[in-house]
Amino acid sequence: MTTVDSALDSAGTGPFQYRLLCIFGLVWAADAMQVLSVGFTAPSIAQEFGISVPIALQTGTAFFLGMMFGAALFGRLADRFGRRRILLITVALDAVFGLLSALSPNFAILIVFRFLTGLAVGGTLPVDYAMMAEFLPARNRGRWLVMLEGFWAVGTLAVALAAWALSLADVGQSWRWIFVFTALPALIGIWLRFWVPESPLYLMRFGRADEAFAVLNRVLLTNGKPGLRARKLIAPGQVRGEGLLSPQLRRRTLLILTVWFLVSISYYGVFVWIPARLAGEGFGFVRGYGFLVLMALAQLPGYALAAYGVERWGRKPTLFGFALLSAAGCFLFTLAFTPIMVGAALLLMSFALLGTWGALYAFTPEIYPTASRATGMGAAGAMARIGGLMAPSVLAPVMAHSLVAAVGTFAVLLVLGAIATWLIDVETRQRALN
């Protein structure tokens, strides 16, 4: 007899996990492209439909609203009806509505399609992470989850380079081409995801041991390891009170959602709303394509250090440290008075905040049992979108008084996020999922 966790430990990480990483990573990069396309498409949308840029940016508001509802809805559905089925549905909707966005004949229809695209993208993110975690051995699960989050930087770089190329070529209606470009990886991902089997932990939870046995054998054989001999699988221990706010999970749920909210409102405040203000104050280089590419490249070492840290130091210490480093980047910005200092502070924030996201995405799915994992990731994703939607309303009155005060506010919020992280009652490094 054996357990799912021991079988995955025997399989290790090999060709099966690399294929899974490439498939999930492709759509993860596509999701980053969809999110960040808001800023790149707004000027072209405004020009075509004869509206102002602030109104054109409402496509982003619609997209974030869709993500908020999609994360909460599809995360729960994945715990109820299976990871694989929801993965296929969400990525298909992502591709379809992304392409339809590019064909929108007017602004009202575009708003509808961006909401629906956001609904699909919001659904892919939590389910991807729940499923990836359930195919990884405990000893290096955190590193691989950070690697998956690292595809966000790949998507950031891809959409920045595409927008830059369209700008240099002076292509008309560039927003349509950007939306087509951002939908293509998801379109490819539909076919690739048919290769992904259902999570063995999910199958065991519903008493489908024979199917779980076949999936685990597939993982072992793909990685060049001997298949399971005994057909008897031991079900993982069930956690009493598996609801997110059950007595066993309430503390960690409230604290981890607090961290997601505080990091999110700071991230979107810094990288979506502040650059426009800086450009208006003579720091126009921060909106330049070259600097955006440089900021995307700065994210990669942040992810690399987070991938090392979650396995070497643990999930909580790494997340705590990166949150404080992000706060330090914001504090450095408040002292900046030259373009070089502003640029250095933004690059530090890009490095540290994306490392924070990497550690947060590695930690969150591990603190929940299988019955609640996708729901927990969905709730976290929804909280992140609430932070993104609230960032401008929280930022506006403070920024009206002082830009330095606004960024200083984010520094304080990130310190609070670090404190909330330290108060979480579990460390999940090298622990089996249940």
Pair 123, 107: CB distance under 8 Å: no
Can you list the pairs that 164-168 forms with residues at least 24 positions away whose Cβ atoms lie under 8 Å? 164/289, 164/290, 164/293, 167/289
Would you say how long the chain is, in residues? 434
pLDDT digits (tens, 9 = 90+) for 46-86: 989 999 877 888 898 899 899 999 999 999 999 989 899 99
Can you list the pairs that 218-224 forms with residues at least 24 positions away whose Cβ atoms lie under 8 Å? 218/16, 219/7, 219/8, 219/11, 219/16, 219/135, 220/7, 220/10, 220/11, 222/14, 222/15, 222/16, 222/19, 223/11, 223/12, 223/13, 223/14, 223/15, 223/16, 223/17, 224/14, 224/15
Largest CA distance in the chain: 69
Residue 164 and residue 228: Cα distance in Å, rounded? 52
Residue 328 and residue 11: Cα distance in Å, rounded? 41
Pair 358, 129: CB distance under 8 Å: no
Quick one: three-class SS letters along 41-54? HHHHHHHHHCCCHH
Residue 235, pLDDT score: 64
Backbone angles phi, psi at 2, to 5 degrees: -150, 165
- Cβ within 8 Å of residue 306, ≥6 positions away: 146, 318, 322, 355, 356, 358, 359, 362
User: CB atoms < 10 A from the CB of 240, how many?
Assistant: 9
pLDDT digits (tens, 9 = 90+) for 247-287: 889 999 999 999 999 999 998 887 766 666 666 666 667 66
Examine the pLDDT at 238 and tell me if it is beyond 60: no
- Does the residue 155 lie in any domain? yes
- Does the residue 432 lie in any domain? no
Domain that holds residue 285: 2-198+240-422
Beta-bridged to residue 233, according to DSSP, are 2
Residue 256, pLDDT score: 96
- Does the residue 298 lie in any domain? yes
Place 240 in a pLDDT band, splitting at 50, 70 and 90. low
Place 1 in a pLDDT band, splitting at 50, 70 and 90. low
pLDDT digits (tens, 9 = 90+) for 217-231: 999 999 999 888 766
Q: Residue 397: which region, alpha, beta or left (left: phi > 0; alpha: psi -120 to 50)?
A: alpha
Residue with tokens 């991807």: 128
Structure tokens at 145: 């989850």
Residue 113 and residue 385: Cα distance in Å, rounded? 18
Cα distances from 371 to residues 213, 321, 366, 412, in angstroms, run 19, 30, 12, 35
Residue 297, pLDDT score: 87
pLDDT digits (tens, 9 = 90+) for 186-237: 888 888 888 999 999 999 888 888 899 999 999 999 999 988 876 677 766 5
Examine the pLDDT at 113 and tell me if it is beyond 60: yes
Pair 74, 127: CB distance under 8 Å: yes
Pair 174, 343: CB distance under 8 Å: no
Percent of the chain scoring above 70 in pLDDT: 92
- Does the residue 95 lie in any domain? yes
Residue 300 and residue 352: Cα distance in Å, rounded? 10
Cα distances from 264 to residues 128, 143, 180, 279, 323, in angstroms, run 19, 22, 27, 22, 11
Structure tokens at 236: 């993982």
Better-scored residue on pLDDT, 116 or 280:
116
- Does the residue 377 lie in any domain? yes
- Does the residue 181 lie in any domain? yes
Q: Is 369 helix (H, G, I), strand (E, B) or coil?
A: coil
pLDDT digits (tens, 9 = 90+) for 289-304: 777 788 888 889 999 9
Q: Is 221 helix (H, G, I), strand (E, B) or coil?
A: helix
Number of domain units in the chain: 1
CATH number of the CATH domain containing 193: 1.20.1250.20
- Does the residue 396 lie in any domain? yes
- Does the residue 219 lie in any domain? no
Cα distances from 171 to residues 34, 288, 291, 359, in angstroms, run 20, 18, 21, 39
Better-scored residue on pLDDT, 400 or 417:
417
Better-scored residue on pLDDT, 21 or 31:
21
Residue 310, pLDDT score: 94
Percent of the chain scoring above 90 in pLDDT: 47
Mean pLDDT of 75-101: 92
Quick one: three-class SS letters along 137-161? CHHHHHHHHHHHHCHHHHHHHHHHH
Backbone angles phi, psi at 3, to 5 degrees: -110, 165
Residue 2 and residue 219: Cα distance in Å, rounded? 15
Give the best-scoring range by mean pLDDT among 26-35, 155-164, 169-178, 413-422. 413-422
